[in-house]
Chains A and B, each alone.
Chain A
Amino acid sequence: MEKVLTARIGKKDSRSIDTYLADGGYTGVKRVLTSGMTPEQVIEEVKKANVRGRGGAGFSAGVKWGFLPKDTKGKPIYLFCNADESEPGTFKDRLLMENDPHQLIEGMILASYAIRCRNAYIYIRGEFYDGARILERAIGEAYAKGYLGEKILGSRFSLDITVHRGAGAYICGEETGLIESIEGKRGQPRIKPPFPAVSGAFAAPTIVNNVETLCCVKHVIDRGAEWFLKIGRNEKNAGPKLFCISGHVNRPGVYEAAMGLPLKDLIFGAEYAQGMKGGKKIKAVIPGGASAPMLTAAEIDDCPLDFDGVAAKGSMLGSAAIVVINEDACIVDVAKNLSKFFSHESCGQCTPCREGTPWLYKVLTRIEAGQGRMEDIDLLARICNQMANGMTICVFADAAIAPPLSSVTKFRAEYEHHVTQKRCLVGARAAELVTV
């Protein structure tokens, strides 16, 4: 596939507005603002392209924009670009922001025009210090060239974009947690309804979209919905997509491909991760970031990497962060490691999540340390089952149970071995333990 989102990445000075303009950047903005294309027409085009949200949930951006109230009762409409990118294994938005910031800015201008937003914000994770500086510089360039600010390109449309740095909380990536954080409050998700499109930041209608989603918008407007829909396995799962692959592969990194790229191709393809490091076998693959249930080696055959393809395997594409785990890794250790993350990042407001995530971590720690009991294995599954499916305000808890629940279900023998033998059932690590 021709590179779209990453086409300019790697080119000299790809961050600067001059190279961006030279590569045909901002023509979409020019065309929309000078051709008399209405905001509704922009929304319609994005709806038609079925740009499914790249932040994790895969919800159609155009449809979401359509939820905005027709009459906002004098309230402004906000666009928040979700650049919190904290899902373990995910590092695609960073690449886009640090290397081609104008692509995102253009996407945001078009989206803002479509939803009639006057003030847009980029909520960027605090650790992305460079990204924030790069974005700010690029925003400055865009103001200087008249693509931002009052009456853009002489039109009646004005827009300001502000970069807001987070303070290091995964939960601020959840859209209502993000909104609370921008309001200056403790970052914790809100109960829904009302949904942000109806009542979001400062009780005003608010659209939250992921960085990559907004970048896609730029290309949909440049090249049309028809073009976008042709990329990928089917029209429900279309468009260019960034995949972040990490773990025990030869060439981890971010790869752009059409939606629906077979998972095996991503792991073994010559243009992608080029196979397993040291020729080891795959034990498990996490297909969509830490929140996605693990797949076994058998399940990765015939798994198209798109929203419906991964869902059909009982997991999710999520943020398209593919973590490949080889036979030498202890699955209990993997689950424990991920549980530590979730127990650290729960915002703590819902009882099941606040209490359940550390409990899971403690039990996993115990099993991993050889102090587990057989009952612990079922206990893990039971704790998981009583945390999810409506038990909490946001789906963090549903995410947090993915690693322990999927691993306990799919790799139960490893857990049992850990309990009875008090050590891991794996190659290198087990061998080490045996020789001691």
Chain B
Amino acid sequence: MSSTPVAPPPSAPPPAPPPKDTFTVSFDGKAIEVPKNLNLIDAAKLAGVDIPHFCYHPRLSVVGQCRMCLVEIEGMPKIQAACTVPLKDGLSVKTTTDKVKNARAATMEFLLINHPLDCPICDQAGECTLQDNSFGYGNQLSRFDEAKRQYPTFDRTMIGPHVVADMTRCIQCTRCIRFTHEIAGTSELTFLDRGGRTLVWTHEGQPLANDWSGCAADVCPVGALTTREFRFRSRVWYLQKTPSVCPGCNVGCNISIESRDDVVYRFLPRLNPTVNDYWLCDYGRFLSEPLNDRDVHKATVREGSAVREATVPAAVDRIAREIRSSLEGKGPGAVFFLGSAHLSNEENFLLRKIADHVGSPNRDAIVDKSRPRKVKSKTVWVEGDDAGANHQGAKDMGLSPGAGGHGLDAVIAGKASPEVILIADAAFSAIADDPEKVAALRRARFLAVAARNANALTRAADVVLPAASLAEKEGTFTNVQGRVQKFDRAFLPKPPIRAAWEHLLLLALALGFGDRSWTPHDLLRQIAAEVPDYAGIKEEELEGGRLLKKGDFAWAGRP
């Protein structure tokens, strides 16, 4: 008899579970799923666990130097720097044990023994990671009874056109060094000397003068690097943060306008990984300064040779009257509308609607070219070279000559001679300060502009309307990537100053269309309904798209 055993029926192997793209990691006993490529510090954040840190920065290489992020890992006898521990499945992290608390307190003590503790005169106070962590982990009393380290000639010194260094405050986290090396690619900064004498400085006295030098101050967790422009100007806790978009160029870096009592004190980068990530170029950053400039405070109207003040409605009425009379006399071709790359989509849209309403094909929006500027997004460099943030949007809104219509070039060249010219932004281009070109525009019978600052154009104009600054209005810009980005209002303009869209709405009403209740939100809805590429755009999407939610957004300054 055959003794061959009967083979058991082949049981189908259990289907292999699909490979996970997450790890299960537990923090203080609470397990969560985290993406595989995260740093442990960011994974902890997802779990709602804060791991204090100084040197770790999500966009810079991991160096494990500050030794603040100490945690216990199950199965590892020694304390570990969380930022240096590779994530893996089943990792069990403890952040609240006595060993962890003592270790962090130790690092904190070491960081503070030589620190000047000059918070009362330090600009970083209030947004200083060292200050914050000292509340959590520091000691009230110091056991250090020796003379503190000093850095003669390396304190309170400009190391570049914008950045002031004070090595007494430095905690040697090397974020600034890594920033210049890994992001800017310029490597101006380095460690000098070693041990307790280690300090950060520029190579052989070369200035820290790359296009993003202000970011070195941003990444500095303490007040060792600050900007000349913001030093000693305001306590940071008085500053209101408003999500906005940099007006400097068509890269459209996301910024936080930091203001107090209707004065802008600084711009900081606002995190948007797809545009500017944590960064901002110096040119854009320091546009915060001129943003406060204004010399057009009232509407003015020229009567014969005299220029007199007027109310905004009266001045707008005058524009409407001039437009109507030209239309009657010469037809729609006699009016020319010029939008601007500095105006919002909503403003340019409304201007185009007015042109449509009166039937004029003469409309335009031009932009000066700027020096090429670029900012590193999370993945690539985003490059721009328009000297305005929204040329793309102005074109998208339809501000280019219609059939049979003329553009600005033709007007300046005298190929077209409109009777009435409405320029919605007196700072649209350097043309506005070029006497010859302004003279060419002045050939029109009637010239009206909205402006924040006087220039050759406003001096030549018949009507000047006082226009709000970027900080004083809200709207959207469309950047070089075609990304529609919302900016919020930081504060109200001082009456009678109004945003250009308000001037234009008054004008629309005077010309017989529009609704007094329209806001930029309504205008955006209209854009979504009427402008092809913008079909269906919703404001909520702009906010949900990680952009712009006032008061609740990641500010890039302190990751």
Contact = CB atoms under 8 A, between A and B. Distances in A.
A359 B144 contact: yes
Contacts of B67: 350-352, 391-392
Interface string B166-203: 00000110100000000000000011011111100000
B67 to A, nearest CB: 5
Nearest to A386: B106
B146 A191 contact: no
A348 B196 contact: yes
Contact of B66 (A343, A351, A386): A351
Nearest to B65: A349
A98 B484 CA distance: 71
B79 interface: yes
Contacts of B78: 389-390
B64 A346 contact: no
A393 B67 CA distance: 9
Contact of B110 (A169, A345, A355): A355
Contacts of B81: 191
B198 A348 contact: yes
A193 B195 CA distance: 23
Contacts of B196: 343, 346, 348, 354-355, 357-358
Nearest to B144: A359
Interface string A191-203: 1010000000000
A386 B68 contact: no
A392 B198 CA distance: 16
Interface in B449-471: none
Interface string A329-368: 0000000000000011111111110111111001100100
A213 to B, nearest CB: 26
Nearest to B83: A191
29 contacts: A171-B194, A193-B86, A343-B195, A345-B195, A346-B196, A347-B194, A348-B193, A348-B194, A348-B196, A348-B198, A349-B172, A350-B64, A351-B67, A351-B107, A354-B110, A354-B195, A354-B198, A355-B113, A359-B110, A359-B113, A362-B146, A363-B146, A379-B143, A387-B106, A389-B79, A390-B78, A390-B80, A391-B67, A391-B79
B170 to A, nearest CB: 11
Nearest to A393: B64
Contacts, number: 99
A169 B102 contact: no
A350 B111 CA distance: 10
Contacts of B38: none
B107 A352 contact: yes
B240 interface: no
Contacts of A389: 78-79
A120 to B, nearest CB: 28
Q: In the complex, which of the residues A191, A348, A366 has the most CB atoms of chain B within 10 Å of its own CB atom?
A: A348
B117 to A, nearest CB: 14
B174 A349 contact: yes
Nearest to A342: B195
A186 interface: yes
A379 B194 CA distance: 24
Interface in B131-165: 143-144, 146, 149
A357 B195 contact: yes
Contact of B65 (A186, A359, A379, A393): A393
Max chain A CB contacts within 10 Å: which of B63, B64, B70, B196? B196
B92 interface: no
Nearest to A391: B67
Contacts of B114: 355
Interface residues of B, number: 38
A351 B81 CA distance: 12
Interface string B76-115: 0011110010100000000000000011001101110110
Contacts of A193: 86
A356 B110 contact: yes
B62 interface: yes
A387 B78 CA distance: 12
Given A359-B110, A386-B106, 16 more contacts: A171-B194, A191-B84, A346-B196, A347-B195, A348-B196, A348-B198, A349-B65, A350-B64, A350-B66, A350-B67, A352-B107, A354-B196, A354-B198, A355-B196, A363-B146, A393-B65
A346 B146 contact: no
Contacts of B113: 355, 359
Interface of A: 169, 171, 186, 191, 193, 343-352, 354-359, 362-363, 366, 379, 382, 386-387, 389-393
Contacts of A366: 146
Interface string B263-283: 000000000000000000000
Contacts of A347: 194-195, 198
A352 B106 contact: yes
Contact of A348 (B68, B80, B102, B172): B172
B218 to A, nearest CB: 22
Contacts of B109: 386
B62 to A, nearest CB: 7
A350 B146 contact: no
Nearest to A345: B195
A16 B106 CA distance: 54
B197 A351 contact: no
B33 to A, nearest CB: 24
Nearest to B198: A348
B110 A352 contact: yes
Contact of B103 (A169, A346, A386): A386
Max count, chain B CB within 10 A of own CB: residue among A350, A355, A390: A355
B143 A354 contact: no
Nearest to A346: B195
Nearest to B103: A391
Contacts of A354: 110, 172, 195-196, 198
A275 B103 CA distance: 44
A216 to B, nearest CB: 30
- Looking at A171, A186, A351, A356, the one whose CB has the most chain B CB atoms below 10 A away is A351
Please provide the 7 A-B residue pairs with the shortest distance between their CB atoms, ordered closest to farther.
Answer: A390-B78, A348-B198, A386-B106, A358-B196, A355-B110, A346-B195, A390-B79
A358 B146 CA distance: 10
Contacts of A390: 70, 78-80, 103
Given A345-B195, A356-B110, A386 B63 contact: no
A362 B149 CA distance: 12
A276 B79 CA distance: 42
Contact of A386 (B64, B65, B102, B144): B102
A127 B89 CA distance: 48
A181 to B, nearest CB: 12
B195 A191 contact: no
A358 B197 CA distance: 9
B197 A348 contact: yes
B102 A349 contact: no
A355 B66 CA distance: 11
B106 A391 contact: yes
Contacts of A386: 102-103, 106, 109-110
Nearest to B64: A191
Contacts of A357: 195-196
Contacts of A191: 62-64, 81, 84
A359 B147 CA distance: 10
Nearest to B66: A351
Nearest to B109: A386
Contacts of A352: 67, 106-107, 110
Contacts of A387: 106
B290 to A, nearest CB: 41
Given A355-B110, A366-B146, A346 B194 contact: yes
A186 B63 CA distance: 14
Nearest to B80: A390
Nearest to B190: A186
Nearest to B112: A355
Nearest to B76: A390
Nearest to A373: B145
Contacts of B191: 186, 348-349
Contacts of B80: 390
A358 B193 CA distance: 14
